[in-house]
């Protein structure tokens, strides 16, 4: 158990065995670390503390298995992604989701949003249009373009996670189940350092994998793509802007639509073709034009990637309420929060003895009495002289 957990934590941080050994000052050999991870040998308490410190966790976290069961609903990948890289990303996303669950439990949300995991049942790709509109309606976001996809998802208890990879791995989604097999939390992940329009599509695509319930006869990737298109560019709103049928459409118009809906020109054209607004042959012409101009990777007017503020905001709240130290919060957030360890005046007051607190309150009461006795506005408000009860 220790060995597997150690391996999970190492891979989640993107460390090779050699890198971890170097971080702990090469106090063990690679052979020894391999034996630890394969449960063939147990590390001493001293070595375990050094490893835990290098991994940024407490020693107890290596001994304890997560209390949740994780299911990766989808993991889009290209042929260049090896099993080990996929495994590393999945462990990273899993650990990130665990940290978010901890933060949420410390400072729970006041509104309990229902997460419709595989609740939107469809039997054809065309039915996804109505299913997506239903979700938008349930979330009270209407049919207007979504200004910030991450905010919408996180406002509805769907965590968003960025992951590092040099390989062609765009995104993935994961569900955490508790011991009673209830959905505890869900997350959608997207590759870091990509354009905003691609990131928004990734998150929307993975949301489709989470919420759609489709039969085996429907291609899952096509269904998730259709969902992402409908989520980002609702049919009615798009038709209102561009019309039911178009013989031609120019690049400047596409750029404006890209800015309005926050989606790529390529996705827009695919959406127009899907809805029958443009023909298949005209769509093919545009694909050739895009390839000729090298826009397959980088389009004109790329949007900045959206940032998540939920994790940092929750961590700062937990620090302010005395639920976490700065160091503990930074471990969960995975970055330096650049704030000083301060103590709340209320918390310091409550540490005093009852007698000390009483004396402070009596002194403050006397000061307040003097203030109000000499305050003409207060006396007028009271309708007469200050009354000492």
pLDDT digits (tens, 9 = 90+) for 34-57: 998 898 898 888 999 999 888 888
Say if CB 17 and CB 10 are below 8 A apart.
Answer: yes
How many structural domains does the chain have? 3
Give the residue from 32, 65, 98 where a domain finishes. Answer: 65
For residues 350-363, give the mean pLDDT.
Answer: 75
Least confident of 98-102, 113-117, 194-198: 113-117
Maximum distance among all Cα pairs of the chain, rounded to whole angstroms: 89
Q: Are both 58 and 113 inside the same structural domain?
A: no
Say if CB 54 and CB 26 are below 8 A apart.
Answer: no
First-to-last alpha carbon distance for the chain, in angstroms, is 68
**DSSP conformation letters of 127-138:** THHHHHHHHHHH
Q: 255 or 344: which carries more pLDDT confidence? A: 255
Least confident of 58-62, 63-67, 117-121, 259-263: 63-67
**Average of per-residue pLDDT values in the chain:** 86
Q: Does residue 329 belong to any structural domain of this protein?
A: no
> Does 61 score more than 50 pLDDT?
yes
pLDDT bracket for residue 105 (50, 70, 90): confident
* Structure tokens, 225: 């793509």
> Does 385 score more than 70 pLDDT?
no
- Dihedral of CA atoms 66, 69, 73, 79 in degrees, nearest 10, equals 50
Q: Are both 60 and 91 inside the same structural domain?
A: no
Give the residue from 9, 30, 65 where a domain finishes. Answer: 65
Q: Are both 284 and 168 inside the same structural domain?
A: yes
pTM of the model: 0.80
pLDDT bracket for residue 355 (50, 70, 90): confident
Q: Are both 155 and 81 inside the same structural domain?
A: yes
DSSP state for residue 113 in the 8-state scheme: -
Say if CB 286 and CB 248 are below 8 A apart.
Answer: no
> Does 166 score more than 80 pLDDT?
no
Question: Considering only CA atoms, which of 124, 120, 123 is closest in space to residue 133?
Answer: 120
pLDDT digits (tens, 9 = 90+) for 299-311: 999 999 999 888 8
Q: Does residue 120 belong to any structural domain of this protein?
A: yes
* Structure tokens, 16: 């090779």
For residues 201-224, give the mean pLDDT.
Answer: 94
Q: Are both 279 and 152 inside the same structural domain?
A: yes
| Distance separating alpha carbons of residues 202 and 14, to the nearest angstrom | 22
Q: Are both 212 and 146 inside the same structural domain?
A: yes
Least confident of 170-179, 278-287, 372-381: 372-381
Range of the domain at 366: 343-389
For residues 306-327, give the mean pLDDT.
Answer: 87
Give the residue from 11, 34, 65 where a domain finishes. Answer: 65
Q: Does residue 255 belong to any structural domain of this protein?
A: yes
């Amino acid at each position: 158990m220790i060995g597997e957990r150690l391996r999970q934590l190492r891979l989640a941080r993107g460390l090779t065995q050699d890198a971890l050994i170097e971080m702990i000052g090469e106090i063990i050999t690679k052979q020894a670390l391999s034996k630890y991870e394969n449960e063939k040998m147990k590390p001493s308490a001293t070595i375990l503390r050094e490893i835990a410190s290098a991994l940024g966790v407490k020693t107890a976290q290596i001994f304890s298995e997560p209390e949740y069961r994780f299911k990766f609903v989808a993991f889009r990948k290209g042929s260049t992604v090896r099993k080990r890289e996929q495994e590393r990303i999945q462990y990273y996303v899993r650990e990130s989701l665990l940290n978010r669950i901890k933060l949420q439990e410390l400072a729970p949300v006041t509104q309990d949003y229902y997460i419709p995991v595989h609740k939107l049942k469809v039997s054809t790709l065309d039915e996804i249009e109505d299913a997506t509109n239903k979700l938008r309606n349930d979330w009270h976001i209407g049919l207007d373009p979504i200004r910030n996809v991450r905010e919408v998802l996180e406002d509805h208890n769907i965590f968003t996670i960025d992951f590092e990879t040099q390989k062609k791995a765009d995104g993935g989604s994961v569900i955490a189940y508790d011991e009673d097999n209830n959905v505890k939390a869900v997350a959608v992940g997207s590759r870091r350092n990509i354009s905003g329009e691609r990131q928004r599509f990734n998150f929307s695509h993975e949301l489709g994998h989470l919420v759609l319930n489709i039969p085996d006869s429907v291609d899952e990737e096509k269904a998730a793509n259709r969902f992402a298109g409908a989520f980002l560019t609702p049919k009615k709103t798009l038709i209102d802007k561009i019309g039911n049928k178009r013989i031609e459409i120019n690049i400047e118009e596409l750029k404006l639509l890209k800015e309005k809906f926050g989606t790529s020109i390529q996705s827009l054209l695919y959406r127009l073709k899907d809805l029958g607004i443009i023909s298949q042959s005209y769509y093919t012409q545009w694909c050739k034009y895009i390839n000729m101009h090298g826009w397959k990777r980088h389009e004109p007017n790329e949007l900045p990637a959206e940032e998540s503020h939920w994790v940092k905001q929750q961590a700062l709240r937990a620090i302010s309420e005395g639920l976490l130290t700065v160091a503990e919060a930074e471990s969960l957030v995975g970055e330096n929060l650049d704030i000083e360890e301060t103590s709340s005046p209320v918390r310091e007051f409550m540490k005093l003895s009852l007698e000390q607190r009483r004396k402070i309150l009596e002194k403050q009461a006397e000061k307040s009495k003097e203030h109000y006795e000499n305050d003409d506005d207060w006396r007028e408000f009271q309708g007469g002289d200050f009354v000492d009860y």
